[in-house]
Amino acid sequence: MRACRWTTFVALAAMLTLALSATGCGSSDSGSASEDGVAVVTLDWESPVDLDLEIWDVEGTQQMGAAWQQGDDITTGGEGTETFEFISFEEGDFSGDYSTGEYTVFVYVADAMGYTEEAEFEVNVTDAGGAVTTFTETVSADVPNNLWRGFKIDAATGDILEEFNEYVGDQLEQ
């Protein structure tokens, strides 16, 4: 009789877990993480500008990738969201395997579209386990504030290895 009660309890617990996960209740905020545990960086803004989420080499001296390669490029000068998943893909100039290694994340003012104020943005980093780290900053069309060097990230885990939080303009220090 005990085994029957235990089996019933386990079955009910499993059904409750499935029901909660189907409705989104009982789950932690997993940001934009894909279901297979991939690290994801998302850029959000509401100002009438064109911002770009860029992925550079670990030294921060050469652009390696960008969100627009994965289908997100908001160029209309309004609020937007751009997302970069640290995966392997074969498309465009920056094709490659981004699933491992260390990279530096930048936000660039691609086009201020006549907007003269600072534009606030938010960068959310969702690590491979689903935990989210948020950076809220501003950029402007004025050099050096048009290029924000944010942080160094481990692509496999999504861990933030080093925070830079600095403006480097169009020319990076070598």
Measured from the Cβ of residue 93, the count of other Cβ atoms closer than 10 Å reads 8
pLDDT for 95 beyond 60: yes
- For the entire predicted model, the pTM comes to 0.74
pLDDT tens readout for residues 118-170:
999 999 999 999 999 999 999 999 999 999 999 999 999 999 999 999 999 86
DSSP state for residue 61 in the 8-state scheme: S
Q: Where are the domains of the chain?
A: 1-28, 40-167
Q: How far is CA 168 from CA 27, 89, 109, in A?
A: 39, 29, 12
Rounded average pLDDT over 32-56? 84
- CB 121 within 8 Å of CB 43: yes
Q: How far is CA 76 from CA 52, 57, 90, 145, in A?
A: 12, 28, 26, 21
Task: Tell me the backbone φ, ψ of residue 73, rounded to 5 degrees.
Answer: -150, 105
